[in-house]
């Protein structure tokens, strides 16, 4: 068990205060966009979006429902396979509804593109995307968020919902994982 996160975190990329401030700014923009719309369905992409979605929802002043999907293209790797699978689907019918996909990070774009296409095919009235982190340098497919918190460099990040092997989601900040930490573990597999 790691109790000193300096063993795995190279540096803090985005501190807790900056995260909260940016999420409030995103919520204000989203509130303005949806102010004259019917209820919105927030679709969180599990598991990484939980912290972001909870903080965002606390700051939204619109009629909304929340639901979740588990959509993955990573399996147990640190890189996207490009093969996207829906592992847990929505409970709410999105036909004719305003949908806001809430994502923790856009990396290659495979997962998000497939998710958006899926919701459009279900005849959602409109599908928008908000992401906390955007890593455009890694993009392999064309997908752009409607709202984005932070553009980040091509580094492996953890914290505030983002994980490495299901760990470190609980960190209150976004930190860059030490390359030696995950390369050593990946080499051992």
Q: What is the dihedral of CA 114, 140, 54, 150, to 10 degrees?
A: -150
Catalytic-labelled residue, pool 4, 107, 126, 146: 107
Which helix H or strand E contains 141, and what residues bound it? none
Cβ pair 129, 104 in contact under 8 A: no
Is 165 designated active site? no
Cβ pair 159, 171 in contact under 8 A: yes
Burial 98-107 (b: 16+ CB within 10 A, else e): bbbbbbbbbb
Query: Which active-site residues does the annotation give?
Result: 107
């Amino acid at each position: 068990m790691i109790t000193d996160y300096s063993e795995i975190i190279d540096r803090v990329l985005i501190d807790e205060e900056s995260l909260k401030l940016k999420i409030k700014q995103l919520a204000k923009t989203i509130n303005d966009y949806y102010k004259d719309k019917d209820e919105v369905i927030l679709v969180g992409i599990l598991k990484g979006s939980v912290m972001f979605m909870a903080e965002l929802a606390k700051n939204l002043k619109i009629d909304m429902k929340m639901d979740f999907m588990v959509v993955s293209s990573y399996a147990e790797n640190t890189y996207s396979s490009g093969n996207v699978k829906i592992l847990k689907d929505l409970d709410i019918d999105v036909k004719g509804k305003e949908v806001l996909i809430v994502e923790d990070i856009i990396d290659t774009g495979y997962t998000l593109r497939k998710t958006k296409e899926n919701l459009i095919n279900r005849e959602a009235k409109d599908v928008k995307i908000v992401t906390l982190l955007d890593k455009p340098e890694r993009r392999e497919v064309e997908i752009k968020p409607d709202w984005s918190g932070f553009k980040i460099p091509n580094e492996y990040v953890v914290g505030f919902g983002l994980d490495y092997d299901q760990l470190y989601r609980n960190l209150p900040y976004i930190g860059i994982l030490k390359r030696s930490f995950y390369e050593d573990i990946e080499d051992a597999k």
